[in-house]
Amino acid sequence: MQYGIDITSARLDDLDKRVLSEVQKKVDQGVRVLDVGCGKGGLAVALGQAGAIVTALDVDDYMAEVEANVAEAKLPPHSLTFIQNDIISFLAKSDAVFDIVILQRVLHYLPHTLAKQVLSTLCARTDKLYLAVTGTDTAIAKHYSALKNQIEDRWGELDTKGQELFFITAPLCLYNEKEIFDLLTETGWQINWLRVSDFGNIKVVARSR
């Protein structure tokens, strides 16, 4: 398991609930949502039930799990499409536009330069962004030696104990609150809401300018 536990398969957090609330307000508008790092589809299915047209994207193959959850939820045909791909390749191959993009626990798996590229591209293709990243004040950061590096060079794996504790073996780029604020504003986003959770994760709602 490279990317940790699929939290949304068990529960929706406060950012997930904000997305759902936004979709429910626009239920008659055919809201197009891109859920990046969808896992087994916990949030994606909830969004489909709320009336969104969802593209659920994940680098790992969760097709069977997502299809099972879609069937159990009895979603209308074509309300949810699962695509196995990473966000870089997806954006390169598709020119699709979205009303909402969700990057929950995804952006920190990209080097800073690629994160800037993704956010710039998404800013031109979507209206609203819901973002959550692992912060530099989290328990995970205590096992992350790259934390001492400047953000441009901050890229590395957790130590062995951290990998065992958090089920994360992929390299990471962790952020502090200011670094996320700067990254979003530099890539064209206007921040509407920003919060650091009790666990040190940084959560943001932003609009394209």
The pLDDT value given to residue 26: 83
The pLDDT value given to residue 11: 67
The pLDDT value given to residue 184: 98
CA distance 151 to 178: 11
Burial class of residue 33 (count of CB atoms within 10 Å of its CB; 0-12, 13-18, 19+) = buried
**Residue % of the chain over a pLDDT of 70:** 95
Q: Which domains does the chain have, with CATH numbers?
A: 14-36+86-208 (3.40.50.150)
Q: Which band of pLDDT confidence, cut at 50, 70 and 90, is reported for residue 29?
A: confident
Ranges of beta strands (E only) in the chain are: 32-36, 53-58, 80-84, 98-104, 126-133, 189-196, 202-208
Q: What is the pLDDT of residues 135-145, one digit of tens each?
A: 999 999 999 99
Query: Which residues have CB under 8 Å from 96's CB, separation 6+?
Result: 32, 34, 55, 125
The pLDDT value given to residue 9: 56
Average pLDDT rounded to a whole number, residues 136-156: 97
Residue 1: pLDDT above 60? no
